[in-house]
Each structure stands twice: as structure tokens, then as C-alpha cells.
Amino acid sequence: MNRFFASLGMPLLVLATIFTANESTATQPGWSPNVIATGQERELIRATPIEQRPYRPLHFYGNTVRRMHYRGTPLPTLAETVALPGRVIIRR
């Protein structure tokens, strides 16, 4: 039984580190509440390099590219994962 808990310790520690790691958010773009951009916003987004575009809900490729550029990992933080439903359903 003791070995079972010991074997779970390392993966849990790695996952906790990944999800709670502090990242530098000073230069990262913010979140856009729009899943589908239209009009001027769409033109502005297309004219901006992908690393500088705002994060957008359900835009997996672009968000992954930005995470890799700014953080070095494609995984979202736990806070982003928890906040996603609110970003999609409740527009701010």
C-alpha cells in the first residue's frame, strides 16, 4: 500500500507543478470574449502576428502557439481551464 502512494507522488507533484507554475503575464495578450470575430476586429486580428493576437475561447491552435511562445508549454493553467466556461457563456 505504501508503494502505491509513493508511485502516485511523483506524477501528482509534476501535474501540480505544471498547473500551478507562475508565468510571466506582463507581455502576454489578454483574452477576447468573442469566439468568432467579425468586421473590424477580424481584420485587426488577421493583421496581427499570431503570437500577439488575443487568446480566444475554443481557438486551440492559436492559443497553443501563444502558450508555447510566452510560457514554453502548450498546457493551459488550471485557472484558465476553470475560467473557460465563463468566457464562452458569460461575455464580459
Q: Which residues contact 71 (CB under 8 A, 6 or more apart)?
A: 23, 24
Where does the pLDDT of residue 19 fall: very low under 50, low under 70, confident under 90, or very high at 90 and above? low
Where does the pLDDT of residue 25 fall: very low under 50, low under 70, confident under 90, or very high at 90 and above? very low
Where does the pLDDT of residue 12 fall: very low under 50, low under 70, confident under 90, or very high at 90 and above? low
20 has a pLDDT exceeding 70 = no
Quote the longest CA-to-CA distance of the chain. Answer: 61
Q: What residue segments make up the domains of the chain, in order of their start?
A: 2-89
Letter for the amino acid at 28? Q
16 has a pLDDT exceeding 80 = no
Nearest to 59 by CA among 36, 91, 90, 92: 36
What's the rounded Cα separation, in Å, for the pair 23 and 72? 10
Average pLDDT in the 16-40 region?
Answer: 70
53 has a pLDDT exceeding 80 = yes
Threshold 0.75, pTM exceeds: no
Q: What Rg value do the Cα atoms of the chain yield, rounded?
A: 17
Cell of 89: 457563456
Where does the pLDDT of residue 82 fall: very low under 50, low under 70, confident under 90, or very high at 90 and above? confident
